[in-house]
Structure 1
Amino acid sequence: MNLLKGQKVDITKGTSLSTLRLQFGWTFTKPGMSIDAACFMLSNQSLCERDEDFIFYGNPLSQDGAVSHLPLHGADKEAIQIVLPKIPERTAKIAFSVTIHEGEKLGYTMKDAGSLYVRMLNGDNGQELFRFDYGSDLTKETAVVAGELYKHQGEWKFNAIGSGFHGGLAALCTSFSLEIEEDAEPEAAAAMEAVSPLAPIDLRKKIVQMALEKKQLTSVMARVGLVLDITGSMHALYKNGTVQEVVERILAVACKFDDNGALDVWVYDNDFSRLPPATENNFDRYVQKHVMNNKDIHKLGRNNEPPVMMDVIRKYTVEEDSPLPVFLVFINDGGVVKPIKKVIIDSAVQPIFWQFVGIGNSDFEVLKQLDTMEGRLVDNANFIHIKDIASISDEQLYHLLLNEFPVWLKEAANKRIIRK
């Protein structure tokens, strides 16, 4: 459904919707221009009564966990995710904005931007609920209130606003009663001294923690590994930063599961390499430094999974034998060779759970058969297919990744593969 400016639509009436994602997109006509999305949690008087209720890249998670700001890497540039049951009673509205970074200072205005839109998605299943294209009537403005989520008679509705502001983020903050210092840069001042900005990895650790709580895994300790396909078809995803993002997202899981906070990493094509562990101290540009700029890494060949899988088993059962279970995430964007079946069957007696993630549009015929594969002491592998891993939220990703792991933990403990 495409909304018109000023149109209001029901969001929760007659549904069991619990999580929303508003995904924002735009284009530029001038180089060096930057736009940011944000939101304000407002009272009945349309006032942002606390500094920490302004959610943006510098304060990406509300204190109640209801609202989070997420970067995206695709046509949709940024997202605001809302967990409706967590919204506090004092919040009657949430206003969504986009602003040009230092627009007044650099001389950019909304006439230099194009294709402004916001899409609302069902955060539970990714279904698009509506799209609102706006901004064609804007000229010298440097900020826009794109829309507003508001409560009416106990249900949430959305108002498509699309109204421009002069004065950028500073003007928006003032309009919602947030005080900023006159001589401060708008984006820096908006952070507010009362807000403790979170780095992306810190935000992701919080989201992992919430996922662990839902799945009753908060007391579990595990070693975490990541195997990355680096065959020719993956080249674009390495170049555009998607693989770096995958490393950072899985590192957050390692930080919560493993007491040393290290993520073991392998890459493979028809050869494989074991990389230095990724940690919070070295994850920045990890893929560029340890893969793309490393001449010793074999890249862009054909796929051959068994050798790297055998090295994973060797590391965790011979070199570093431990009573801790292993949660191994295996990223692949095409068909795997059939001999992986034997590796998976043989390793069913080992404390390793293989979580395969298929990305892209391949058929994944072999991986789809994991759940029905016979001859194993326990079901030690799971497969999920995510066509565009860059567009899925951290919350959705962690839910999918951790969905089968608790079942395996229980079965492996009953079979004495791991300790109870």
Structure 2
Amino acid sequence: MSRLQGEIVDRERAIELLPGNRVTLLQNGEAYFTALEAAIDRAVHEIYLETYIYKNDSTGLRIGAALQRAARRGVKAHLLLDGFGSQDLPRSVTDELLAAGVAVAWFRKKISPWTFKRKRLRRLHRKIAVVDRDIAFVGGINIADDMNTADPAPFRYDYTVAVAGPLVQVICLSARRLWSLVAWTTFRTGTVREGGLAAAPSAVGTMQAGFLVRDNFRHRRDIEDAYLRAIEQAKFEVIIANAYFLPGIQFRHALIDAVGRGVRVTLLVQGRVEYLLQHYATRALYGNLLDAGVEIQEYHESFMHAKVAVIDERWATVGSSNLDPFSLLLSREANVVVDNEEFAGTLKQSLQEEIEKGAQQISKENWHHQPAPLRLLNWLSYGFMRLLMGISGYADGYGPAGLRGRHRDRPDI
């Protein structure tokens, strides 16, 4: 057992880091879609693909065609879509997939926009693909063109990892369980027997890696707790790149405490305005972080969608989870954690290159001299975000005590 396998333990359970994996970093959609399509075309037995957004564009058509080819070869292909993120997908697209033999299911599709229920806020935000239990992909990239090409608009900056080795079976089991749950809830059928899983893949590499999920039952805090524990144990460096950064006070205090121990903490966050309210609410947090010595870089090269971190040049995570209320309190998320210097070094180098070419550092001096109207906009946005959380019934988990709320409602998809 490595040092990190023994030490990086969340507040309730150990992160199970399995040895013998090969984890490959894929930056941006072009790399991901090429690898995903090739894996689907090699499939022999089964495919599970989960995504928040699936667009009827060149990328959606490309991946959809690969799924259809696989289904016609006799491969059991499953596509799970979020009912909100993919709500604009024409029915003709899913009808074509179904006609080819692809099983398609929706996570929370039919909830009226005029009926306010807390459940409708709980979304499938994971981006996972598993093929034949031989390879799995986990990250933040949706099935959409804006993740794929720099023409006509700049590509989104994002990551996915390709995993081979024993961890693939863990990811496959998670995908199977969620598919079974959604299929049973929707059709009252379609469950998959876990006993059908083959033996775990043999070792193909030297990396230790683990798989973390966030759900609305037993794993509400697993991803956040993994971040917190790693930050609390950091010795010299924390680099976090997160597109939508609005964590609770406990997370912010962990970053500030790390700086107090002499750790260099760097945040790479969204610089372009994509979602107005969230953008300025995030900026309301800058002052205290800058005063504590946290380095803040805003990414302007393109829209940023990454959700990754590197700590002490060894612990690394890549996944779908932002550090905001949507990801930490509501959505189903999935991250891979890697304990390996080579992988962490590759991710760190990629982050540094993007910071150098596409980011602008926020200085403490300039920040505290920004115009009063901008400061007011930041705090009004933050206050409104808190109000929305209160209306939704989730503010109790996002208050001064940090993200510690544990809702006692029944298990839910």
TM-score (norm 1): 0.26
Q: Which has the higher helix share?
A: 2
Q: Which has the higher strand share?
A: 1
The structure with higher relative contact order (CA 8 Å, sep 6+) is 2
